[in-house]
Amino acid sequence: MKRIALLLIAGTLLTTTACKKTGPQGPQGVPGQQGPAGQNGLDGNANVIGTDAFTVTNWELSGRTYSATFTDADITPSIVDHGIVEIFKSYGINEWTNLPDVSGVTNTVFNFYDNGFTIYVQNSDGTTPIYPGSQIFRVVIISASQKQAHPNTNWKDYKQAVTALATSTTSAGTAQ
């Protein structure tokens, strides 16, 4: 029994004294190469893209529906599958209503897809609407991660969306 106790004590002393740091620290290594410069950009949130207000005047009539189609590279397959695209229509300074918007029998609606969106103006009674004229819109594109980070935000309320997110501005999509 004494022999086992002596072996345990000797083993403990050997392992606790054998792990000491010895000697001074070595010289610092050679620094690595400088990486490429990052892209210069505006402050904002990379997961949220908000366009500046843009005016639509180039409506096309097809059947009984007016439409305007835009390309927007920020609407990616990931946004289409998991994100949100909201389009807001202006009714005056700081007054934005999300689409769909109903005014009498006239409805303004939209759809979005990879690399673009289309805004439609149509009448719910099947008649052709009057020419929509000049209308102002904004687009907000939100990634799935931002939806999760702000679960209580009503994305259809422009003021809530703007309050919840620091949006970066980009140009509106390009008309087709």
Residue 167 confidence (pLDDT): 39
Residue 95 confidence (pLDDT): 87
pLDDT at 79 over 70: yes
Task: Tell which wins on pLDDT, 52 or 13.
Answer: 52
Q: In the predicted model, what is the mean pLDDT of the chain? A: 77
pLDDT more than 70, % of the chain? 66
Read off the pLDDT of each residue in 131-150 and give the average, rounded to a whole number: 87
- How sure is the predictor about 24, in pLDDT bands with cuts at 50, 70 and 90? confident
Residue spans of alpha helices (H) in 18-153: 77-82, 144-149
SS3 label, residue 165 = coil
- CB atoms near residue 63 (< 10 Å): 8
Amino acid at 171: S
Contact at 8 Å (CB) between 77 and 114? yes
pLDDT at 72 over 60: yes
pTM: 0.63
Which range in 46-60, 77-91, 142-156 is most confidently predicted, on average pLDDT?
77-91
- How sure is the predictor about 130, in pLDDT bands with cuts at 50, 70 and 90? very high
- How sure is the predictor about 60, in pLDDT bands with cuts at 50, 70 and 90? very high
